[in-house]
Amino acid sequence: MKFETTKCIRCGCDMLMADTVCPTCGKVQTGGRQTGARTMLAVALAAAVLITFNWLKSPAPQASPPTAHPSANLPSG
């Protein structure tokens, strides 16, 4: 079985990702690991909301009335 590992923020030794205290130096591991996933989730949700609102607010294409050729309005003769 393969375990995910990370580096200690103080001494740099390899440790399991689930550990909250470094087995070598005893430093409590705070921040960093979880904030990356949360940030990516927040960015993805914000992008999804923006895309959804832009899709809902986009106006339906409107057919423009056919325009006459400019010379058609001039009297002939």
| pLDDT tens, position by position, 3-36 | 888 999 899 999 998 889 999 999 998 865 555 7
Q: What is the pLDDT of residue 66?
A: 62
Higher pLDDT, 72 or 42: 42
> Domain for residue 29, yes or no?
yes
Total domains in the chain come to: 1
Mean pLDDT in residue range 43-67: 81
Q: Where are the alpha helices (DSSP H) in 1-77?
A: 33-57
For 33-44, the pLDDT digits (tens) are 555 778 889 999
Confirm whether 68 is domain-assigned.
no
Name every residue whose Cβ is closer than 8 Å to that of residue 7 and which is 6 or more positions away in sequence.
Answer: 13, 14, 15
Which residue range is the domain that position 49 belongs to?
5-55
User: Is residue 62 a part of any domain in this protein?
Assistant: no
Do 3 and 16 contact (CB within 8 A), yes or no? Answer: yes
Q: What are phi and psi of 43, to 5 degrees?
A: -65, -40
Separation of alpha carbons 65 and 26, rounded Å: 77
Query: Does residue 75 belong to any structural domain of this protein?
Result: no
